[in-house]
Each structure stands twice: as C-alpha cells, then as structure tokens.
Amino acid sequence: MPNVRSGFIHQGRLDADIRRAVSKLGPEVVHVAYNVGEDSTGEPSIFFRIVLDDAAAREEALADTTSRIAAALFDKVRPIENWGLHPYFNFSSQSEQRTRRDPA
Amino acid sequence: MAYHDDLLSLALSLVHTVPATQATLRRSVSSAYYAVFHLLIAEATSNWNIAGLRTALGRAYDHTTMKSASNRILDLREFPFTGEDPQAVASLRFVALTFTQLQEGRHFADYNLTEDLDPTDALNQVKSAEKVFSVWPSIRSHQIAQEYLVSLVVKRR
C-alpha cells in the first residue's frame, strides 16, 4: 500500500479505477502503467506512463492525442478530488519501448 | 519576436536536432517550460498600464506559486466553473495542466539522469507547449483566464 504525505492509498481501489478508465481509451493506447510517489516539490502524485502506437506518436497529431488521453484519464480517475494525487503523464512510442527492452 | 516566442522556437529547433542527444532533448523540454512560464508572465503583466515597468513586475512571479495556482484550478471541488463556457474551461485547464507537466518535465530534464528522456516524451512536451501558445489567444479575454493570471502571482494565505 503506497504511503504518500496525504496518507495511505487503497491500491486495489485505485487499480480498479484506473483499469476502468484505461478500458475506455482508444486503440492507439498500447499500454498504461503508473506509480504513486512524490513529485519534485514533494506533492503526492501519480505518474502515468503511457505507450502509444507509432502512428499516434506522429508529430502532427501528438499534442492533440496526448491531451485527449490525459483529459480522459483525468476526468475518469479524478486523481486530485478522489485520491489527493496530482497527475503527471509521460508518453512514449511502441518502437521506443522495443528499443529499450532490446538494446542490441 | 517576444522572448517567449524565441524560447518556443528554440525548443522546437532543439527537439528536431538530428541526431538527437540527451542534451538536445533535455534542453528542448527546459526551453519549452520557460517559453510557457514567460508567456504567462507576459500575458499577466501586459495588463499593467506602464509598459516600461512590465518586466520588473514580472520578477514577482515564482515557479512554486504558479504551480500551486495551476494545481488549484484543476480541482473541480474548488473550481467547478459552473455556468462558464465549457470550451474555455477545458482550454484553461489544458493550459494549467500543461504548465504543471512542463515544470515537472523541466525538473527531470535538468536534474535527473537516472534514466533517459524518451524522444517522444520530449517531443510531446514541446508540442504541448506549442499548443498552449495556440490555445491561449482563444481564452485570454475570458474572465476565468484573467483570474488565473492573477492567481499565478498571489501567494495563498
């Protein structure tokens, strides 16, 4: 059970909320992971790491795609109101993830 | 061009540098954050009548207060924005959320070398900053946007 400054987080409920929200995201989202901790100013935070398929990570559409995904997770999970956590969203592409796993 | 416009151009140029290095990617994110930081300050201080004093007034803004103000308007309990134009509210929340993301991204880019900064992540942060520049003119005349600008300089007591 993660312990952040505001108290304890019920991991099971948070997981369930996030799973529900992720299931509503589009097919361009390949994977979503998260962890709870403190940000650079010590605020309790949730860090989403989102892998996009390569087509969705193209520059022309990137900012619109990521802001839509972040807004969807923000609206459905309500991390501030329901969990006292400030959300951060980091995006990578599927091909970058493959490169990371296979440095050769 | 204004300083914040130059910073955004620099961020875009850095993030497109070939070959990309951790230095170019990280400096692009840092420049993107400062582009938005100075855009918001310039917008706020532009309300001051005496143009020659605006840059001096801009020195009153600090990162922590701006982040706290941006976090606050993301909280629906504190700022439900009932009766406001939903598109303007969504745009303002995008600006506030992007500001906090960029500030954290800048901190990672400048100090945290424990893992690489992904090119897609860097590009997304720069493109999100660019989107703030394109969205802001559509909401700058709204009362809620002007109240946000004021909140960026007011410490909560």
Chain segment A52-91, per-residue pLDDT in tens: 999 999 999 999 999 999 999 999 999 999 999 999 999 9
pTM: 0.93
Number of domains in chain B: 1
B65 touches chain A (CB under 8 A): no
Mean pLDDT of chain B: 96
Suggest the residue from A53, A90, A92, A93 to mutate for an interface test with chain B (most B CBs closer than 10 A).
Answer: A90
Inside any domain, residue B157:
no
Over residues B28-46, the pLDDT tens digits come to 999 999 999 999 999 999 9
B133 in any annotated domain: yes
User: Residues B137, B43: contact at Cβ < 8 Å?
Assistant: no
The answer to whether residue B156 sits within a structural domain is no
Check: CB of residue B124 under 8 Å from CB of residue A91.
Answer: yes
Cβ contacts (< 8 Å) between A82 and chain B: which residues? Answer: none
Question: Can you tell me the distance from the alpha carbon of A23 to that of A19, in angstroms, rounded to the nearest whole number?
Answer: 6
Q: How many structural domains does chain A have?
A: 1
Q: How confident is the model at residue A24 (pLDDT cuts 50, 70, 90)?
A: very high
CB contact under 8 A, A74 and B71: no
Q: What is the model's pLDDT at position A84?
A: 94
Three-state secondary-structure class, residue A99: helix
Domain that holds residue B44: 3-151
In SS3 terms, A27-63 reads as CCEEEEEEEEEECCCCCEEEEEEEEECCCCCCHHHHH
- The residue range of the domain holding A63 is 3-101
Write the CATH number for A52.
3.30.70.1350
| Residue pLDDT, tens place only, B51-105 | 999 999 999 999 999 999 999 999 999 999 999 999 999 999 999 999 999 999 9
